[in-house]
């Protein structure tokens, strides 16, 4: 069993990750920590673990092997660093940090300590995307020419942390990471971003939505859209020389959802329905497997591959933010 502690009492954690950790057969959920003792107690009672007041008190526990970090984006780096320095494996919410430099530092620290470090991108562990990639590799839609991906949802309550720049708010860090990571999944890490636009709130200063354009080493064009000021959408489309392949609810399929891949060619439309999967359960399973590998062999066999991609994600996000034309709305 991998014994987990949770740092932070987020709504997403309560809705998705804490139930997943509690119910996973290879995980023992030991404790949940908050700076607010009452909030920690409420979450601990709900999920059958111990409450801890203060993050440092959880990191000092001998009965915790790994931590799941569910804090505002700007707190990920310092908390993950403290966890690694305490000898804990780390599963952190995305984005891992708010800059490429901080991400690279955590990657180096995890490697030096022989610890597992992962970013909680659940969609990467859903089998539908591996199926899509194999279909593209097999030439099902001909030669790939264009990838477009989007993740958007309606405006949030005014006091939501995503509107607070000092906490790492903004649509690029919260949602833009998804089309960027999807672009890497299908096209590899050798990517060039050529342009971007961000719609920004003149009061808070955070970006509310945006788009980017990029291309791969072999000339495939990629575009991404993201934001908190839209009707809900979570999808991508791969357009090749002979057809298109579209995936809806690409980043947020519920555990009961049976994905449908839609393939459109010149004179034929086909829909392929895949089995339902729990992508966050699969994410936790992959994390636990990496921890087991460290216990058994002394190292995480996927650290180098994962870390290179994670650092590249952060570099691409940094570049989008740096070159984006900002529109005050």
Residue 306 is assigned to a structural domain of this protein: no
Structure token digits, residue 275: 């089995």
Question: Which pLDDT score, from 0 to 100, does residue 303 have?
Answer: 87
Considering the domain architecture, whether residues 219 and 257 belong to the same structural domain is answered as: yes
- 250-275 pLDDT, tens digit per residue, is 999 999 999 999 999 988 999 999 99
Residue 18 is assigned to a structural domain of this protein: yes
Considering the domain architecture, whether residues 138 and 165 belong to the same structural domain is answered as: yes
Question: Which pLDDT score, from 0 to 100, does residue 302 have?
Answer: 86
Residue 37 is assigned to a structural domain of this protein: yes
Residue 153's SS3 state is coil
Question: Which pLDDT score, from 0 to 100, does residue 301 have?
Answer: 85
Residue 321 is assigned to a structural domain of this protein: yes
Evaluate whether 236 touches 222 at the Cβ level (below 8 Å). Answer: no
Question: Which pLDDT score, from 0 to 100, does residue 74 have?
Answer: 97
Closest CA to 181 of 81, 79, 16, 320: 320
Handedness of CA 311, 313, 316, 321 (dihedral sign): negative
User: How many beta carbons lie within 10 A of that of residue 308, not counting itself?
Assistant: 12
Considering the domain architecture, whether residues 80 and 226 belong to the same structural domain is answered as: no
Range of the domain at 175: 124-279+316-328
Considering the domain architecture, whether residues 172 and 273 belong to the same structural domain is answered as: yes
In angstroms, the CA 259 to CA 312 distance is 29
Residue 291 is assigned to a structural domain of this protein: no
* Residue that terminates a domain, selected from 67, 96, 122: 122
Q: Which of 61, 76, 89, 94 is catalytic?
A: 94
Considering the domain architecture, whether residues 137 and 204 belong to the same structural domain is answered as: yes
In angstroms, the CA 142 to CA 120 distance is 32
Please tell me the total count of domains within the chain: 2
94 is catalytic: yes
Sheet holding 191-200, edge to edge: 268-273, 260-265, 243-248, 233-240, 144-152, 221-227, 207-216, 191-200, 325-328
* Residue that terminates a domain, selected from 122, 154, 174: 122
Evaluate whether 176 touches 224 at the Cβ level (below 8 Å). Answer: yes
Considering the domain architecture, whether residues 130 and 252 belong to the same structural domain is answered as: yes
Please list the ranges in the chain whose pLDDT falls under 50. Answer: none
* Residue that terminates a domain, selected from 92, 122, 152: 122
The CATH number of residue 175's host domain is: 3.30.360.10
Residue 186 is assigned to a structural domain of this protein: yes
Considering the domain architecture, whether residues 169 and 113 belong to the same structural domain is answered as: no
């Amino acid at each position: 069993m991998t014994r987990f502690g949770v740092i932070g009492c987020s709504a997403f954690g309560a809705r998705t990750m804490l139930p997943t950790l509690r119910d996973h057969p290879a995980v023992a959920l030991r404790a949940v920590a908050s700076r607010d003792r009452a909030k920690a107690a409420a979450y601990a009672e709900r999920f059958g673990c111990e409450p801890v007041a203060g993050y440092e008190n959880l990191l000092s526990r001998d009965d915790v092997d790994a931590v799941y970090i569910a804090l505002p984006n700007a707190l990920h780096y310092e908390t993950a660093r403290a966890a690694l320095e305490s000898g804990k494996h780390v599963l952190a919410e995305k984005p891992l940090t708010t800059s490429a430099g901080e991400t690279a530092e955590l990657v180096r620290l995890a490697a030096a300590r022989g610890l597992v470090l992962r970013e909680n991108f659940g969609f990467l562990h859903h089998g539908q995307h591996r199926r899509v990639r194999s279909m593209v590799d097999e030439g099902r839609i001909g030669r790939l020419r264009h990838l477009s991906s989007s993740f958007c949802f309606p405006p949030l309550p005014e006091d939501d942390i995503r509107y607070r720049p000092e906490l790492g708010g903004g649509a690029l860090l919260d949602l833009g990471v998804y089309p960027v990571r999807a672009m890497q999944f299908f096209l590899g890490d050798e990517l060039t971003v050529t342009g971007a636009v961000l719609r920004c709130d003149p009061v808070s200063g955070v970006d509310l939505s945006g788009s980017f354009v990029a291309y791969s080493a072999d000339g495939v064009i990629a575009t991404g859209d993201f934001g908190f000021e839209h009707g809900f959408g979570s999808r991508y489309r791969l357009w090749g020389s002979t057809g298109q392949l579209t995936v809806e609810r690409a980043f947020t399929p519920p555990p009961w959802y049976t994905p449908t891949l839609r393939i459109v060619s010149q004179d034929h439309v086909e829909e392929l329905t895949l089995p339902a999967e729990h992508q966050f359960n699969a994410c936790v399973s992959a994390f636990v497997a990496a921890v087991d590998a460290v216990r058994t062999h002394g190292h995480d066999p996927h650290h180098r591959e994962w870390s290179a991609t994670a650092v590249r994600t952060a570099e691409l996000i940094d570049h989008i933010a740096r070159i984006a034309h900002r529109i005050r709305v």
